Structure 1
Amino acid sequence: MSVPDNGTARTEAVRPEAARTPVTVVGLGSMGSALAGAFVGAGHPTTVWNRTPEKATPLVALGATRASTVAEAVAASPLVVACLTTYAATFEALEPASDALAGRTLVTLNSGTPAAAREMAAWAAARGARFLDGAVKNVPPAVGRPDTLLYYAGERAVFDEYEETLRVLGGDTVHLGEEVDLAALYEQAVGGLLLPALLGFFQGSALVTARGLKARTLVPYTIKWLEMIAEQLPLMADEIDSGDYTRPLASVGIFHEVLPDELQLAEEAGVDGSWQLPMHALVARAVEAGHRDHSISALVEVLRAPRPSGA
């Protein structure tokens, strides 16, 4: 079966035995609704719950069952997927269902720190539930696509048991390891790229629109630039892992020399470039630390170093 069209989402066919697995989804924001829709579309008996019951109405129309309480929702399925904003929100939502968690598997797909993931795992274990923590690395309309990435951490046997069911949510489904906080760690480590990258695009958009040009004109060139960066990431990762920064394609010094130009252009265009100043300071610290002729990936050594007092 295919996922109902929630924009552009699609999923591959799943095995009949996976399709029969009952699933509960707790939390029906845009992402939670997309997850529930994918499960329904793939043939899973799907129970849904949200603090605002009306959010379940479109899913009920597709075939989901709306639970009147979170405890009823948890009790309905062996697999419970919680998709709320944070671990704190997940704790708060699930606390009334504590007694119903025993013998079930809880999967959390929310934002938060590795420490909070460990706390969540201990909380679930104390209530007799098995636990996986995960992250959806895409936007809601991409749920169900064969190339959509989700990764999980926790007991491998639990992941193996539900892998085909979870794969309904995205074909690129990965188990990172048994350390239960790994998904939260990678979520933070990978997700940290998003805002700086978007700010770079927004800065560029402010610059070109100040000239009366359209931000849309930047898109093809920005995509090519991001593709170039993607090609260089394996090399930079190898430099970081080896600690050898002596064969740079782009050195710290090159970046350092052009920093004044960035600020001058922003000033000329009447654009606020102050968000770049901490990055500029980081590059300057790398030069001071002797990395001028090293690869730009040597910035990781500055990030690892204690920040100077008073800085």
Structure 2
Amino acid sequence: MSGPEGLRLNTEEQCYMPSSPTIGRPVAVLGIGSMGTAIAKALIEAGHHVTVWNRSRERLAGLTGCFVAETAVEACRDAEITFTCFSNLPATYDVLKQPGVVGALQGKALVPMSTATPDEVHGFQRFAQASGIDYLDAKIAVTPAQIGAPTAVIFFAGPQALFLRVEPVLRALAGRATLMGQRIDGAVLGDFAFLSVYFASTIGILHGAAFLRNSGLNIEQFFGLIPCFLDEINARSQSFRKMIVAGDYTDVQSALKTDLAGARLLANATANAGMQNLFSDALIELMQDAVAQGHGDLDSAAMVQAFSKIMSTPQPVEVPG
């Protein structure tokens, strides 16, 4: 059985039955690594007509229910939306430079899902505009296993009209497909903000586990209680949001100077457990800076003010030689 432009259907049964023919849209996925595979599977499951392409054919072996293109240009020729899943934007450029690819994408939606810097996405926007491509940037904030889940988060940035045009397809990938704004670097910045939460929380969890293990205690109870801790953090974050938006940190739930005292106790306990103090020392330094700026009697949410001042303070630059 053949698909668009004679593409071969990749399925053991040699038949393709979308789960909802009335909503199925032709889409392409270029780059079938672990994330590209998850994206293609979610789109297939949602009933879309998926064409895939990858440099290495071996990665396509376990992917069924989709059409396989011999070239990148074949994959995106009939697709309304093309998702690219390469490691970075330079790798994406390499594929788009293949003969005929840019022409096949003109007037259609292109959604690169690669890691990038703000400068890189601005450069890609200029390239897309000059090429007549409708560019919507995307940054994935979940693992491949979470793609397609109602709670999965993917940040998008670009024209609102374009986002609304492709949103039904995006919802197949992430229940929390979120347009961060029409600034093309909005998805990148949203992802960086998410990473600050991710790294801080994971380091905290691992530090806590190491502390208990070094102290000779079982870590099973600790990990069993983490969901309760996360519920508390979620509730606390909502109070943070209200204070930050209002610019008022006087409704004190936990004073910064009180939290600083707790961080110092943690540092002492960490040292007594024979562990490095890098984590607690960094925490104390940040809190001390905020207290020195006059926020000690305010809620700990006032640390956001300290971060802003730290960012706006020019840092000395070392000149070689």
* TM bin (shorter chain): 0.7 to 0.9
Displacement, 1:64? 1.8
Aligned to 1:151: 155
Amino acid at match of 2:83: V
Displacement, 1:34? 0.5
If asked which structure has higher relative contact order (CA below 8 Å, sep 6+), I would say 1
Aligned to 1:227: 231
Aligned to 1:4: none
Amino acid at match of 1:81: F
Displacement, 1:92? 3.1
Amino acid at match of 2:106: A
Aligned residues: 296
Aligned to 1:127: 131
Q: For 1:246-277, what per-residue CA distance to the aligned partner results, in whole angstroms no more than 9, with x for missing partners?
A: 22111110122123222222222222221332
TM-score where L is the length of structure 1:
0.86
Amino acid at match of 1:93: V
Say which one has the larger Rg: 2
1:42/1:168 contact within 8 Å kept = yes
5+ long unaligned stretches in structure 2: 1-17
Percent identity between the aligned chains? 28
SS of the aligned residue for 1:174 comes to strand
Q: Does 1:84 align with 2:86?
A: yes
Displacement, 1:63? 2.1
Aligned to 2:176: 172
SS of the aligned residue for 2:177 comes to strand
SS of the aligned residue for 1:68 comes to coil
Q: Does 1:30 align with 2:19?
A: no
SS of the aligned residue for 2:263 comes to helix
1:154/1:179 contact within 8 Å kept = yes
2:263/2:283 contact within 8 Å kept = no
Displacement, 1:15? 5.6
SS of the aligned residue for 2:47 comes to coil
Aligned to 2:96: 94
How far apart are the structure 2 equivalents of 1:272 and 1:259? 14
Displacement, 1:67? 2.2
Identify which range, 197-206 or 215-224, moves more after superposition. 215-224
* Residues 52-63 of structure 1 mapped to structure 2, 5 A cutoff: 52-59=56-63, 62-63=64-65
How far apart are the structure 1 equivalents of 2:255 and 2:314? 23
Q: Does 1:271 align with 2:275?
A: yes
2:31/2:53 contact within 8 Å kept = yes
2:151/2:174 contact within 8 Å kept = yes
Q: After the TM superposition, which parts of structure 1 deviate over 6 Å for at least 4 consecutive aligned residues? A: none
Amino acid at match of 2:168: E
SS of the aligned residue for 1:150 comes to strand
- CA 1:187–1:78 in structure 2 vs 1: closer, same or farther (change >3 Å)? same
1:132/1:154 contact within 8 Å kept = yes
2:150/2:176 contact within 8 Å kept = yes
5+ long unaligned stretches in structure 1: 1-12
Amino acid at match of 2:197: L
Amino acid at match of 2:23: A
SS of the aligned residue for 1:103 comes to coil
How far apart are the structure 1 equivalents of 2:185 and 2:314? 30
Amino acid at match of 2:60: A
2:19/2:45 contact within 8 Å kept = no
Displacement, 1:47? 1.5
Aligned to 1:42: 46
Aligned to 2:12: none
How far apart are the structure 1 equivalents of 2:167 and 2:19? 11
How far apart are the structure 2 equivalents of 1:121 and 1:15? 34
> Of 287, 290, 294, which aligns to 1:286?
290
1:74/1:101 contact within 8 Å kept = yes
- CA 1:278–1:310 in structure 2 vs 1: closer, same or farther (change >3 Å)? farther
- CA 1:155–1:139 in structure 2 vs 1: closer, same or farther (change >3 Å)? same
> Of 303, 308, 318, which aligns to 1:304?
308
Amino acid at match of 2:162: V
